[in-house]
Amino acid sequence: MIDNFLIINCTGTNNSIGIKTNNKFFKEKLQNNINSNNQLVNNIISFTNKYNVKLDNKYSLIVNMGPGSYSSVRISLSVAKGIQIVYGSKLYGYKNDQLEEFKLENIEILIKNKQLKNKMVNPIYQ
């Protein structure tokens, strides 16, 4: 079961990150501009620091696989894969149409209904 997680929703529109830790959920909307992809790692670091979260192997990673902007999807998957390698976290993916609204209740439905892909995260580009 996925208890604590970092979710990355970066497809080029309505980019957001969220974290569930100790039964609390925090989210932050990211800027959608040319430099926003380059800032994803910094945004995640600032976001986790803001809520005193230290990522480790107890945090799962959930990433939007698209469809979306080629650059946005590739960068978010690459960042998540890097976090997975460093911390040994589990990596899961979902498709854009599976998450109607970026809120905890909807994310927990994805988890509960086992709709997340965990073997191979394959990006979908527009």
The model's pLDDT over 64-93, given as tens digits with 9 standing for 90+, comes to 999 998 888 999 999 999 999 999 999 999
Output the six-digit token pair for 103. 């809120």
Span 10-49, pLDDT tens digits: 998 889 999 999 999 999 999 876 566 678 999 999 999 9
Full-prediction pTM beyond 0.75? Answer: yes
In angstroms, the Cα distances linking 46 to 24, 34, 51, 110 are 18, 19, 9, 26
